[in-house]
């Protein structure tokens, strides 16, 4: 391979598009991102316009072309899972895309739970909820019957964008298929039983091809519209949770990562699927190079990780925001500096990050966030540190599920925007008592760039691509004394949760009865 050859990974994420360009030797070249809107036409609804995804990608390509001149040899796209795009035979969009954050299909979930047999549901490896595609399809069938009637094929987010690039076929990959709740994970094919029970015509589902297969090339029309070079091979791709494993380098059984982002995600890779019978985790396959899965992973998440720090910044850190502009830093860097002045355990100040309820391990939307233990001694800096510690405690709380599934965390790769904070990485490693590895790849689009290399044979296979592209840039060893100290504080953190949960529920009921703010 020519060292000037490049590979492009594109992520059609929930909040925006990101693209990462790497060399065929595995070196990072550049990354750009663009946000796009989510629309909320009704309470509990969420919708996106697929054309907004293409507009964001066009802006990114324009910036990319203005700065970097390389010979691109492969493109791969990943995207938000579950999100359906209803298309007619002319490849026209019939209805807004419904992202996984939409909650309108709760009645359909209840009905499906009575329609599907326990065995068929078990073979999906996941608990059914409104995030999955199947209940969203049923909502459309019931409330917008003309849309489903005119649907020729259903595509998922990344599949729609990829088809607009190539104008080839109607494809998806196993990871996105598994995210629809229409896929039999054991047989590794669309489930005839589930489709029959739900009344879904199987001919409207896309073909399933391995994630690493080349399924087309950039057309002249797409080249003119988006600014990507004509004729570049396009690889099938996978959904973004799968690609995060490539970006973290966690592709072998026992590998694990923690993503410090809006949510705090914990994932562990396994040779075979390891679903949680209590339905507190999701299980997906890694990107595939063959007709069967090359590996699996089980993941769970605490809901308000980075968003807790952002919430605190937006409400209380206006001075740091202004200072950061002058210093050409981020407000988070200045908040971290303040937090570093405070000793571990924040002198007894404990934060529970339940700002939108909590996901793992409680799945309780009524829980409320809190600072506990505040005294006149505590300063602004204590609150900054306690948020970082509270989020780490919440992640540790989530790992109890893995212990129940007999999955052991040995060490963790650290990815996501929050992993750029060395202080936060140190706190997390000391709370978990685990070695933490900061990697050079932290975004799913980096993983897509690797898979593009696999697809066009720049890399021998996924493991080779990961080994050549992912570098360890920092290692943190836990301090045994600090770990023991955090273990004591975590026990108190857990006791506070147990004691205040009934109070949170009472408060939640009261708030629902309070008069709403008037303008």
Dihedral sign of CA atoms 383, 384, 385, 391 in order:
positive
434 Cβ contact list (under 8 Å, min separation 6): 409, 410, 411, 412, 478
d(CA 101, CA 130): 8
Separation of CA 338 from chain center: 29
422 Cβ contact list (under 8 Å, min separation 6): 474, 476
Characterize 441-462 residue by residue with b for buried, 16 or more Cβ atoms within 10 angstroms of its Cβ, and e for exposed: bbbbbbbbbbbbbbbbebbeeb
d(CA 192, CA 183): 9
The pTM of this model reads 0.89
Q: What's the pLDDT at 291?
A: 87
Separation of CA 78 from chain center: 11
Pairing relation of β-strands 264-270 and 296-302? antiparallel
For the CA atoms of 206, 210, 254, 28, what is the dihedral angle to 10 degrees? -110
Q: With CA atoms as reference, report the closest residue to 158 among 452, 499, 468.
A: 452
Contact 208, 198 (CB under 8 A): no
Q: Quote the Cα angle for 452-301-49, to 5°.
A: 55
The SS3 assignment for 392 reads: helix
d(CA 149, CA 111): 21
Q: What's the pLDDT at 43?
A: 86
Backbone angles phi, psi at 103, to 5 degrees: -125, 15
Q: What's the pLDDT at 443?
A: 87
Contact 112, 49 (CB under 8 A): no
- The 10s digit of each residue's pLDDT in 53-91 is 999 999 999 999 888 888 999 999 999 999 999 999 999
Contact 94, 46 (CB under 8 A): no
**Mean pLDDT, 10 residues at a time, over the chain (519 residues)?**
83 93 94 92 93 97 88 96 96 96 93 96 94 97 97 98 95 97 97 98 97 97 94 97 95 95 93 92 94 92 92 95 95 97 98 93 93 97 98 97 94 93 98 96 92 97 95 97 98 98 95 76
Distances (CA, A) of 297 to 142, 175, 426: 34, 11, 25
HSE, CB side, 13 Å, CA atoms: give it for residue 416. Answer: 22
- Is the omega angle on the peptide bond into residue 104 within 30 degrees of 0, that is, cis? no
Q: What's the pLDDT at 512?
A: 86
Structure tokens of 228? 């990507």
d(CA 451, CA 249): 12
Characterize 391-412 residue by residue with b for buried, 16 or more Cβ atoms within 10 angstroms of its Cβ, and e for exposed: bbbbbbbbbebbeebebebebb
Q: What's the pLDDT at 519?
A: 46
d(CA 52, CA 79): 14
Which one-letter DSSP state was computed for residue 209? Answer: -
Q: What's the pLDDT at 518?
A: 53
Contact 314, 367 (CB under 8 A): no
């Amino acid at each position: 391979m020519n060292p000037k050859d490049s590979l492009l990974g594109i992520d059609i994420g929930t909040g925006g598009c990101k693209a990462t360009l790497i060399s065929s030797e595995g070196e990072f070249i550049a990354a750009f991102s663009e946000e796009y809107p989510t629309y909320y036409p009704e309470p509990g609804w969420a919708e996106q316009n697929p054309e907004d995804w293409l507009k964001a990608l066009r802006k990114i390509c324009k910036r990319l072309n203005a700065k970097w001149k390389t010979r691109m040899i492969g493109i791969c796209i990943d995207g938000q899972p579950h999100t359906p795009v209803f298309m007619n035979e002319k490849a026209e969009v019939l209805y807004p895309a419904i992202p996984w954050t939409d909650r309108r299909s709760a009645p359909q979930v209840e009905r499906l739970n009575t329609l599907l047999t326990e065995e068929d549901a078990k073979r999906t490896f996941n608990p059914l909820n409104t995030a999955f595609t199947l209940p969203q399809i049923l909502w459309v069938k019931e409330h917008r019957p003309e849309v489903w009637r005119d649907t020729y094929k259903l595509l998922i987010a990344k599949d729609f964008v990829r088809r607009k690039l190539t104008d080839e076929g109607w494809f998806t990959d196993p990871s996105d298929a598994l995210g629809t709740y229409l896929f039999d994970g054991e047989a590794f094919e669309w489930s005839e039983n589930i489709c029959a029970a739900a009344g879904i015509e199987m001919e409207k589902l896309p073909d399933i091809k391995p994630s690493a297969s080349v399924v087309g090339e950039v057309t002249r029309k797409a080249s003119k519209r988006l600014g990507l070079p004509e004729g570049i091979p396009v690889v099938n791709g996978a959904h973004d949770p799968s690609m995060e494993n490539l970006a973290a380098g966690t592709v072998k059984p026992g590998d694990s990562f923690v993503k410090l982002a809006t949510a705090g995600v914990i994932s562990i890779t396994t040779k075979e699927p390891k679903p949680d019978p209590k339905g507190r985790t999701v299980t997906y396959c890694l990107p595939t190079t063959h007709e069967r899965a090359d590996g699996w992973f089980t993941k769970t998440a605490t809901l308000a990780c980075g968003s807790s720090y952002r919430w605190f910044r937006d409400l209380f850190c206006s001075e740091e925001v202004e200072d950061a502009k002058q210093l050409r830093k981020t407000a988070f860097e200045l908040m971290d500096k303040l937090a570093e002045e405070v000793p571990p355990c924040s002198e007894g100040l404990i934060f529970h990050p339940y700002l939108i309820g909590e996901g793992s391990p409680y799945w309780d939307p009524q829980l409320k966030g809190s600072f506990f233990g505040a005294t006149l001694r505590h300063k602004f800096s204590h609150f900054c540190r306690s948020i970082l510690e509270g989020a780490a405690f919440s992640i540790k709380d989530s790992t109890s599920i893995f212990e129940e599934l007999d999955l052991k965390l040995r060490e963790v790769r650290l990815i996501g925007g929050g992993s750029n904070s060395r202080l936060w990485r140190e706190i997390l490693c000391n709370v978990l008592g685990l070695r933490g590895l900061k990697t050079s790849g932290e975004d799913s689009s980096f993983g897509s760039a690797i898979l593009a290399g696999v697809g066009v044979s720049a890399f021998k296979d996924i493991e080779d691509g990961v080994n050549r592209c992912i570098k360890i840039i920092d290692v943190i060893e836990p301090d045994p004394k600090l770990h023991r100290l955090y273990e004591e504080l975590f026990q108190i953190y857990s006791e506070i949760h147990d004691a205040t949960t009934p109070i949170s529920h009472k408060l939640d009921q009261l708030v629902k009865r309070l008069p709403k703010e008037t303008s």
